Amino acid sequence: MKRTILILLVISGVLAAQDFKKYKQFSLFTDEKAAKVGDILTILVQESSRALNNAKTSAGRNSDLGLSFSGSMGDTKLPTVDGKVGTTNDFGGKGSTESNGLVSTRISAVVDTIYANGNLHIVGKKKITINGEEQIIKISGVVKPTDIMGNNTVASYNIADAEITIEGSGMIDRMQSPGWLTKLFHWLF
């Protein structure tokens, strides 16, 4: 009886055994990081940009030409001739441009290519719609595997050739654009 139970336990253990080969990419000691095509990682976008450009131009030109002739001989006066030619040319110009931008979001991206050196090309897109206002955030670039943190996130400033695009549409976008009549007048004049 004991022998039969022992044989049944061994047979059931063999039949219920797990294949550990399918879990070989997972580690017991570290979190899973994106490492192959199709893996997903989270991008922490914290971008701030500021550009300031000032230009000031000043030019001037001044020319003056004069001619004067007068004379006298005894009691006879000779005619007096005066002449003056002058030119002035002046120019002044000023210009100023200032641009500020701040983007702060989290977006998931998919690994779509693995380069020979192990770097990962990622592509991600996020669409948010609130009260008819639609905002689409797109990101792409190249990530070094060593820049991926333990929680499978990477900061946007660690992405090489990063392209971050934010597009919006809706009522606010339409109100910020000039109307068709204004566009016509700008085209004509």
Give yes or no for residue 185 having a pLDDT over 70.
no
Per-residue pLDDT band at 34 (split at 50, 70, 90): confident
Give yes or no for residue 20 having a pLDDT over 60.
no
Token reading at 189: 């004049």
**Which pLDDT score, from 0 to 100, does residue 112 have?**
94
Q: Which residue has the higher pLDDT, 61 or 79?
A: 61
| Mean confidence (pLDDT) of the chain | 78
Query: How do residues 68-77 score in pLDDT, each as one tens digit?
Result: 666 666 666 6
CB-based contacts of 97, cutoff 8 Å, min separation 6 = 51, 52, 53, 54
Q: What is the pTM of this model?
A: 0.54
**Which pLDDT score, from 0 to 100, does residue 116 have?**
93
- As a dihedral over the C-alpha atoms of residue 33, residue 36, residue 41, residue 44, rounded to 10 degrees, the angle is 90
Query: How do residues 111-130 score in pLDDT, each as one tens digit?
Result: 999 999 999 999 999 998 88
Ranked by mean pLDDT, which of 52-56, 99-103, 132-136 comes out on top? Answer: 132-136
**Which pLDDT score, from 0 to 100, does residue 180 have?**
72
**Which pLDDT score, from 0 to 100, does residue 160 have?**
93
Rounded mean pLDDT, 26-49: 79
Query: How do residues 76-88 score in pLDDT, each as one tens digit?
Result: 666 666 667 677 7
Share of the chain above pLDDT 90, in %: 28
Q: How far apart, in whole angstroms, are the C-alpha atoms of residue 112 and residue 109?
A: 9
Helices (H), the chain: 2-15, 171-176, 180-188
